[in-house]
Amino acid sequence: MPIKMLLNKGKVPVKIYTDDVDSRSLDQLTNIAQLPFIHSHIAAMPDVHLGIGATIGSVIPTKGAIIPSAVGVDIGCGMAATRLSIKADQLPDNLKSIRLAIEKAIPVGFNMHKSIHAKNSTIIALNKVLEEKILTKHTAIIKMMKKPHRTWTQQLGTLGGGNHFIEVCLDEAQNVWIMLHSGSRGIGNVIGRYFISLAKKDMEKHTIQLPSRDLAYFTEGAEYFVDYMDAVHWAQEYALFNRREMMRLILDALRKPLPNFEVTKETITCHHNYVAIENHFGEQVYLTRKGAIRAGKDELGIIPGSMGVKSYIVRGKGNPESFCSCSHGAGRKMSRSAAKKQFNTDDMLEQTLGVECRKDKGVIDEIPGAYKDIDQVMKNQSDLVEIVHTLKQVVCVKG
């Protein structure tokens, strides 16, 4: 479907691919559109909802400046999915053994591995950039994290918390898929918070008036601009390697509870909280996707629904109005606190029927009812992507 709403209250328009958007998110989008360096327009995806700093589900092209809070603190957060050579009827009758195998292999929440699992070449490459381009210039990051080298190396290959997950899914042909959602863990969070704070201080120092303090930015040539770009690109690489390492550990862990299998295609991966240098409408811009994935012509991407519903493998259509982007998921329709007040464990049991997962009060805030209807989200972006595979979760491990 085409653009459903056009917001014209800022210096540039906001093109919105849904009419299901609350007033606070509209205000937040208007604030971003007030900034003087936004190029052409802002695009808001059909899963758009209120965020911290910038609206989740927004695609923001900027000229000569970057907004750290628009990228956020889970820098490089994104998805990975791979298809196995086995079918649904080859899965064990009791799927709990699969969930337990994954939980044993992958630490969740704040936990990390007890030792380093990743390849030494990966550790060396990432560590060199982190030390030379970031930590030597910004020793405050070391103080914030206390033991950054130990933390990032032992968190490599771990899930994190919140809405991060690992799932076993079935597609329309009953093929088995492994899908996961995670980001740059503790080190990405510290990098994000540190540079957001620096941007705010920089705005105060230059007495720059902002529509919202959370929209503090660095301009090209500013003291911390290059350092931030180096740091954010490092965290994006770390998040990518984190997902690759998790996928490797999961596949190894599933060799025991599953019959012999092979990976049938290269793993699909995509960031959905990141910044990239791209060309749009005749200009090179810093394109920030906050809760959105790249959907260039024929590019494959992953759009997850909530636990217990369905997810999609999609092929991008390269729509220029969305800056070759699409939604990163279903999108929340209520806050975590609101979900905990409205739903209980009986609701969780009902809404995750047929899915092997935690169903206790600790995951109530991730209940499917707290999210938008993924089917409607997909209808609203039919101009942006086409569906390649529809995946149904049968096992879900939440962070």
Q: How many of the other CB atoms lie within 10 Å of CB of 256?
A: 9
Cα gap 167→178, rounded to integer Å: 6
Closest CA to 33 of 42, 25, 22, 24: 42
CA 273 remoteness from chain centre: 5
CB 29 within 8 A of CB 42: yes
Residue partners of 318: CB distance under 8 A and separation at least 6: 295, 296, 297, 298, 299, 324
Closest CA to 227 of 177, 273, 191: 191
154 residue type, one letter:
Q
Structure-token pair, residue 397: 């491990």
CA dihedral sign of residues 22, 24, 30, 33:
negative
Cα dihedral sign for 45, 50, 53, 56? Answer: negative
H helical segments located in the chain: 23-33, 68-71, 96-105, 120-129, 139-145, 148-155, 185-205, 225-253, 336-342, 345-351, 374-380
Work out whether strand 42-49 and strand 14-16 pair parallel, antiparallel, or are unpaired.
parallel
Sign of CA dihedral 103, 104, 109, 112: negative
328 as an active site residue: the answer is yes
CA distance 87 to 268: 19
State the catalytic residue, choosing from 41, 164, 271, 328: 328
What is each CA distance from 320 to 3, 93, 232, 312, 374, in whole angstroms? 12, 46, 25, 22, 23
Q: Among all residues, which ones are annotated catalytic?
A: 328
